[in-house]
Amino acid sequence: MKLSELHPKQKAIIKSIGDIGELKNRLMELGVLCGEPVQIVRIAPLGDPIEIHIGNEHLALRSDDAQKIEVEAISQLKKRNRKRLS
């Protein structure tokens, strides 16, 4: 699932960051790293930009850039873990 596919208040774990050029290094400096939890705060009325909360930071990302970040929704992780325990 892509970061851009999440809804406001939905949480996910970052799985991978695709090729977004120099922005990738800047995002990593700000704490956007694989394995980190991220939450969508809000989406602009026309769908661009997207405000995210990661760690102690609030960041705005262009929808095109958010589409290159692969995440797994936390609700999906919980379901998978419940199946393993059953």
pLDDT (tens digit per residue) in 25-41: 888 888 888 899 999 99
Q: Closest Cα partner for 44 from 21, 22, 64, 63?
A: 63
Q: What CA–CA distance (Å, rounded) separates 66 from 49?
A: 9
Q: 3-85: what fold?
A: SH3 type barrels. (2.30.30)
Closest CA to 51 of 18, 9, 15: 9
Please check the confidence at residue 56 and state whether its pLDDT lies above 90. no
Over 60: is that where the pLDDT of 16 sits? yes
Distance CA 79, CA 12 (A): 13
Domains of the chain by residue range:
3-85
CB atoms within 10 A of CB 38: 24
Give the global pTM.
0.77
What is the length of the chain? 86
